[in-house]
Amino acid sequence: MSRDIYTEPYPVDLDTLANLGPLRPLAGIWQGTRGLDVKPKAEGPKKQAYVERIELQPIDPVTNGPQLLYGLRYYTHITKPDNVKTYHEQVGYWLWEPATSTVMHTLTIPRGQVAMAAGTVAPDATTFELKATQGLETWGICSAPFIQEAFRTTDFVIKVTVNADGTWGYEEDTVMQILGRDEPFHHTDKNLLNVKLAEPTPNPLVRG
């Protein structure tokens, strides 16, 4: 880290889509209809199919003093097949720091929980893995009291794979210590985003 923590880089390329590194193939609006969730129930693990729509839109470059980040703002909406009620939703950012080849993934869910996962990734990587661990000051997990007591999340891992045909998918493993159980539970999710509904929309002022 530079001792100069205030001076911002100049000039900064405002073309976010050209500077997303391994995140570039994710940009846009996608749909996947063959998601699979394995979640905890009192009687044991339960499998649930799901349909997902995820929007990933480019944000303008962000500077923290000398640090430069490019990213995508995302919103995920998930339902059960043939069901209108929301099954899961999630918001956050995918961020790329070119100087350190770091991908960061922030997530917030309406259960009173947030997390930030990260990993070192090659700029042209087509598969990469990010991790968050509870108790760390960086790349950590924070939960509201009930979740912390009843379904404490100790680790979160997401693996992203970009396919040769342009589609992409993910596999997630959320490790939970559930109240009254001795062994950790692996709450897993996976899906293939195989239908691109729309291209990404950059800031129209920058684009113009």
Please state the pTM of the whole predicted model. 0.96
Q: What is d(CA 140, CA 95) in angstroms, rounded to the nearest whole number?
A: 16
Query: In angstroms, what CA-CA distances link 180 with 113, 135, 183, 185?
Result: 21, 21, 9, 12
At 207 the pLDDT is 67
Q: What is d(CA 61, CA 142) in angstroms, rounded to the nearest whole number?
A: 26
pLDDT tens, residue by residue, 97-115:
999 999 999 999 999 999 9
pLDDT tens, residue by residue, 158-172:
999 999 999 999 999
The domain segmentation of the chain, as residue ranges, is 16-197
**Does residue 131 carry a pLDDT above 90?**
yes
At 204 the pLDDT is 86
pLDDT tens, residue by residue, 1-50:
668 999 999 999 999 999 999 999 999 999 999 999 999 999 999 999 99
Q: What is d(CA 107, CA 9) in angstroms, rounded to the nearest whole number?
A: 27
Report the Cα–Cα distance between both ends of the chain, in Å, rounded.
Answer: 35
**Does residue 206 carry a pLDDT above 70?**
yes
Position of tokens 């063959």?
A: 34
At 101 the pLDDT is 98
16-197: CATH homologous superfamily?
Calycin beta-barrel core domain (2.40.128.20)
